[in-house]
Each structure stands twice: as structure tokens, then as C-alpha cells.
Chain A
Amino acid sequence: EIIMTQSPATLSVSPGERATLSCRASQSVSSNLAWYQQQPGQAPRLLIYGASTRATGIPARFSGSGSGTEFTLTISSLQSEDFAVYYCQQYNNWLTFGPGTKVDIK
């Protein structure tokens, strides 16, 4: 099983600032990596797939990068609706999720 880890567990950011979230895989997942945003009480929303391709309707302030075992989600200028929990997910070998990073207001 591929183990996904995310850091930090919590990221405190002021509105308008940049947020950088990290995701690491225990072995290479190539570019088969997705990012999701989850608001309280809601289903996850797909943000990024293929490590760097934004899903339909996702604002350009969200960007993904990386390949192999190291990945990054960047939110260039945090809006109020961006404060949420973010999960990475690999789909290279079965499917596993990271534990999440909570982005909260500083």
C-alpha cells in the first residue's frame, strides 16, 4: 500500500497570502496525484488531477506541481472560501488519501 503523508497538519494563513501545502508518497506515483478541498459538512471537491491540471471550474489561484514522490498545492492568494481541509490522493497503485492539511485563518 502506498502511504501518503501531508504537511503541515495545520496551516494558519491570512487572507490574501500565499499557502503552500505538501504531499509525499511512500513510493513513486508518477503524476497520478489529485488534490481535494473539503468544507465542513460537505463532500470533497476535486481541485487538481494529474498532479498539475486544474479540474473544471477551479480558479487559477490553485496550482499543483510535482511528480514521483513529492507534490505541492499552492493557493496564490487565499480567499475566505479557501479556508478548508485539503487532501491529496494517489491513484497510481490502487487509491489512497493523505491525512489532510487544515488551512485556517491566521
Chain B
Amino acid sequence: QLQLQESGPGLGKPSETLSLTCTVSGGSISKSTYYWGWIRQPPGKGLEWIGTINYSGSTYYNPSLKSRVTISVDTSKNQFSLKLSSVTAADTAVYYCARPRVGGAPTYAFDIWGQGTMVTVSS
């Protein structure tokens, strides 16, 4: 059974870079055509897609965040990672990693989600 688990610091300072990792278990990133995504949710608010990546490193980013986002993949560790630069309080959110239901589709309905990790940006 495929499972995703986010990890990373729960607190960051304004202007710094936020770094999170999603570890995939129960399946191999490198042996599938699936894309792997990041989605966030500010406290009490709705969901925002950040971007997706596949095993070969092809990435798709939300245009509104593209200038600050880097998503990378480490197939040897079965992980993919998110870096968000120049963070502000507005980046405070629960960050989820997730997998689309269909392989080969960078944007689709996500049917497998991690539990999420809360990141607070504060000085």
C-alpha cells in the first residue's frame, strides 16, 4: 500500500528558504510514470497546488509561486522535496505531498495524500 510522509522543520523565519521532504513507501518513484505533488493549506483556508515532479525530474509549478519554488526528486532515497524561498507569514500552512490518480499526468485528481506537516513562518 503506497504511503507518503512529509518531514521538515515546523518553524521558519521570514526571508529564509523552507525545505520539506516527502518519503514514499510501498512503491518506487523510479519505477512508475506517476508525478508527485505538493499542495498547501493555510490555517482555516482552502487548498493551493504548489507543483509536481516525476522520476526524471520534469517539473510543473503553479505560476503564482514559480519564482520561489523548486521541487526535486531523489530516486535513490525514494523521496521528493520542496524548497520555497523568501518565505513570509503568508506561507504559513499545512504542506501536503500527494500523488495523482493517473500516471503520466502532472495535474490530475490526487488520490493518495500524506498526513501533512504544519510549517509556521515567524520571526
Contacts and interface: CB of A to CB of B under 8 A. Distances in A.
Contact of B63 (A34, A36, A89, A94): A94
Interface of B: 46-49, 60, 62-64, 96, 98, 101, 105, 107-111, 113-116
Nearest to B96: A43
- Chain B binding site: helix, strand, loop or mixed by DSSP? loop
Q: Which of A43, A49, A50, A95 is packed against the most chain B CB atoms within 10 Å? A: A95
B111 A97 contact: no
Interface string A32-63: 00101000001111100110000110000000
A87 interface: yes
Interface in A71-106: 87, 89, 91, 94-100
A17 interface: no
A98 B109 contact: no
Contacts of B49: 94-97
Contact of B101 (A1, A46, A87, A98): A46
B46 A99 contact: yes
Which of A1, A36, A89 has the most chain B CB atoms closer than 10 A to its own CB? A89
